[in-house]
Structure 1
Amino acid sequence: IIFKMTVLLYFLINLSYFIPHITGNVDNADVNSRDVQYAYIVGKVYPPDEQFGNSWQQETYVHLAGGLQKGFIREDGSFVFTNVPPGSYIVSVTNPRYIYEPVRVEINSKGKIRARKVNHIQTSQIIQLPYPLKMRPISQTRYFQVREQWRIIDFLFNPMVLMMVLPLLLVMVLPRMMNDPEARKEMKQIQNFTNYDMPEMSEMITSFFGGGNQPKPRSSKQTKKKT
């Protein structure tokens, strides 16, 4: 009885698997996977110098989407990523001695490819690039910070130096300005302008809060009547 039950169960499992394929009711996921058009991303990596040799090819790698696919370059510097589904990907080149600018590649559902610059700050700004990709080095990799050299400008604009030099300059320049007759006239004009009779602050406050000029007090002496 147990043997018959196992055989019957095995038969039912196989029957449930083959019925959809016989009737044509295939899973939607299988249909969608067949409808998806996979694309090829093609490009070429250029060496930093034409006379650089072939050693740079051994140290150069091409990455798709940060490691989704990783590949080497051919002798002529070309590379190909196969079976890439629709989406947006960043193609980057890594080399221990040179820095390459990454490129964003967008693939639509129809398999059309568009390349543009990577801009993480202004994502809405689109600057298209030619396709197939052309990856060129932008600078040499620096692993150590360059030592700053001594410059006379940095020394002169130092705050401590300015605090010491400016008073000395004023001490040397002001006496010469006082000996100049034109400078003396200007100084006198400034002094005369500041010596004008200005109302005191206390009088201004009392007149403002007192409602104007107060009436003068009457004299205590009365005029004598004429006899």
Structure 2
Amino acid sequence: MASLLRLSLLGCALLLSPASASDSQDQSGQIRGRISIPSKFQQGLPPLGGLHEAKVILDGGLLSTLPTADGYFYFSGVSAGPHLLQVVHPRLNFDAVRLEAEDTGANGMKITAYMADPEHGRGAKLKYPLGLAPSGAFSYLEKREEFNILSVFKSPMALISLFSCGAMFLLPKLQPMIEEEKAKQQAEVEGNKGQAESLTNGKK
């Protein structure tokens, strides 16, 4: 009876040992975090345009996952070394995160998070598990410039058009003045000629 009990206990231990080993291995390679969207960013979003449109990618898309309704996400089976984590959203901008996974042996994987810095690699250190929030919103439409009447005079085409219109209105009014000036000049020339002829006739 005792031998049968020992055999049954040994069989249970053999069955349970692979499962426990695999569980510990899965836990050691996990990256966990949560996405939250503050109310100031939710005002400009459609009803399902918040967490439902977010996607978390690791190392440029080698691994990807979707957050839960509460914003939680995790990756399993992550290898040791540096990793780049990004949150992709069509309307919100999230800063990239640099993760450094260190295999500590029996204690599993140690994850350290930093802000991703393109120049130096590491930025400010972040808390882990990650708590991510958007840093800004994308603007796809440019703000329309307000109309300013003075801007019309800055355009060369507008200036040429104004000059042409002014010339069309002013030339008919200037024409009689020009003709009158020509008549005066002609009269002066004829008067000078008459005086010259009278002087020459008087000398004779």
TM norm structure 2: 0.50
Larger helix percent: 2
Q: Does 1 or 2 have the higher relative contact order (CA < 8 Å, sep 6+)?
A: 2
